[in-house]
Chains A and B, each alone.
Chain A
Amino acid sequence: MTRLSLSPGIDAPDELYADLLAAHEGLSEAESAALNARLILILANQIGSRELFRAALDAARPR
């Protein structure tokens, strides 16, 4: 399995971040939550591995 990487890996960080915010513009909180949920599922499918996804979940947990 590929290990979860927490070092910089996004090729255009400012642009990607702006895309993320733009996608949520004008959405209600419920619509934004739904968009995020769909996005997570699509990204989870891209990751594929349950183990890798769990590592990402762990890294995302509030501490």
Chain B
Amino acid sequence: MQWNLGKVFFGDRKVYEFNLLAETGHRRPAFINLQQYHLEHDMVARLRALQAAGASIDLRGAHRVAGVEAAGDHVALDIDTPEGPYRIEAEWLVACDGAGSPVREALGLGFAGRVFEDNFLIADVTMQAEFPTERWFWFDPPFNPGQSALLHKQPDGVWRIDLQLGRDIDREREKEPGRVRARVRQMLGPDVAFELEWVSIYTFQCRRMERFRHGRVLFAGDAAHQVSPFGARGANSGIQDTDNLAWKLAAVIAGEAPEALLDSYHAERLQAADENILASTRSTDFITPKSAMSRTFRDAVLDLSERCEFARPLVNSGRLSVPTIHDGSALNTPDGLPEGPARSRPGAPCPDAPLEPGFLLDRLGHGFVLMALGMPAPEVPGTAPLAVPAPGDEMRARYLGDAPRALYLIRPDQHVAARWADAAPATIATALSRALGATP
């Protein structure tokens, strides 16, 4: 499900609308809305396909981690199952066991941060008639005074309504279907017929672990860091964690990289978690002002946004998640094309661009790639060449700027490790070794 048009309401009036106007030349749209159950279903389907192709994957349900023993060269887990307990030893453990992570608990590791007291009500509704595929955000609406509300469409004809309820509420009473229906009717107007599909109340926290790597235990997703839902940073950052970790762990297990490479997982993803927590906290502070003066400024921004365009970038109803640029990562080689586009500097995720017969990102992601623009790709062991003799307009704008040619060393997670105007194979080999954690 995609949307492009957003509308912002303040009190009883629409103050402005905006179009996402996503950049062209990407295979994927700027924003896709997909329920978690669809994602989970697709992930299991993928696992089953891999199993059928002979991959050694075991998906075990109704299992609970009861104990964790972390040794220098392995991790031992005590598992409880309905059929009784057993013990399993693993060389590596990736704990993706959610915000309440039993593995984190078992190891006695902290999860510090900020707890927000506001309650939010989620109601999924289906409409009987046409309703626009737009994102509507209300600040202080008449149907929810002093609070906020969000309406956006999901797949399968479901509209999700997110209503801020405030701090001290009676959760059971707020969840009563009659009460929710009355709220939604106020919101959509008396003429819109709808069915209530699902109701839930949530609060949220912004927290993270001190370290995402503890020897042979690696934490990923909500187990390592938790953010507010504003900006779609939860699932996105979990997937980015695995993008970052999978190739590194594979390289370490294959003996192609030292264990120290895994410390860069912690460093890079901690940077991302802090960025996400900061963005998410700022959205929260705008949506739910914590002091009288913060509300005064928030309302002043919204008030001005109707007639003064300059105020619109200050309106923060959730900033869409974007991948982190790992500036300063130990895996980066200093920029050898400093006059090149800043968005594709070392540490940056590669921007997509059309590349015959499809898109650039389809060609990246399996091992290290040495992309040569406007020049032949040198042969460097451990890299796959990708020669682009005549880059198109988007490729030029995103990777060359005014430079006539360039070389990019791209990691398996599609982040730039190094780039040069030109480089000898030995220089590239050193950059590769650095990106594998072997050369400081």
Contacts and interface: CB of A to CB of B under 8 A. Distances in A.
Interface of A: 30, 33-34, 37-38, 40-42, 45
A60 B314 CA distance: 22
A33 B296 contact: yes
A33 B296 CA distance: 7
B301 to A, nearest CB: 6
Given A33-B296, A37-B300, A41-B304, 18 more contacts: A30-B296, A34-B296, A34-B299, A34-B300, A34-B303, A37-B297, A37-B299, A38-B300, A38-B304, A40-B297, A40-B300, A41-B300, A41-B301, A41-B314, A42-B310, A45-B308, A45-B310, A45-B311
Contacts of A41: 297, 300-301, 304, 311, 314
Interface string B307-326: 01011001000000000000
A19 to B, nearest CB: 19
Contacts of B293: 33
Contacts, number: 28
A42 B301 CA distance: 10
| Listed residue (A37, A40, A42, A45) with the most chain B CB atoms within 10 angstroms of its CB | A37
Contacts of B310: 42, 45
A37 B304 CA distance: 10
A45 B308 CA distance: 10
A41 B311 CA distance: 8
Interface string B283-313: 0000000000100110111011000101100
B296 to A, nearest CB: 5
B270 to A, nearest CB: 25
A32 B310 CA distance: 22
Nearest to B313: A45
B413 to A, nearest CB: 32
Contacts of B300: 34, 37-38, 40-41
A37 B311 CA distance: 12
A37 B296 CA distance: 7
A16 to B, nearest CB: 21
Nearest to B303: A38
B296 A42 contact: no
8 contacts: A34-B300, A37-B297, A38-B300, A40-B297, A40-B300, A41-B297, A41-B300, A42-B304
A40 B402 CA distance: 40
A43 B114 CA distance: 33
A34 B293 CA distance: 9
A46 B206 CA distance: 34
The 4 closest A-B pairs by CB, nearest first: A37-B300, A45-B310, A38-B300, A37-B296
Given A34-B296, A37-B296, A42 B303 contact: no
Contacts of B303: 34, 38
A38 B293 CA distance: 12
A42 B300 CA distance: 10
A28 to B, nearest CB: 13
B84 to A, nearest CB: 62
Contacts of A38: 300, 303-304
A30 B303 CA distance: 14
A23 B299 CA distance: 19
Contacts of B297: 37, 40-41
A38 B300 CA distance: 5
A42 B299 contact: no
| Listed residue (B296, B300, B303, B308) with the most chain A CB atoms within 10 angstroms of its CB | B300
Contacts of A40: 297, 300
A29 to B, nearest CB: 11
Contacts of B304: 38, 41-42
B179 to A, nearest CB: 31
A14 B372 CA distance: 66
A34 B301 CA distance: 10
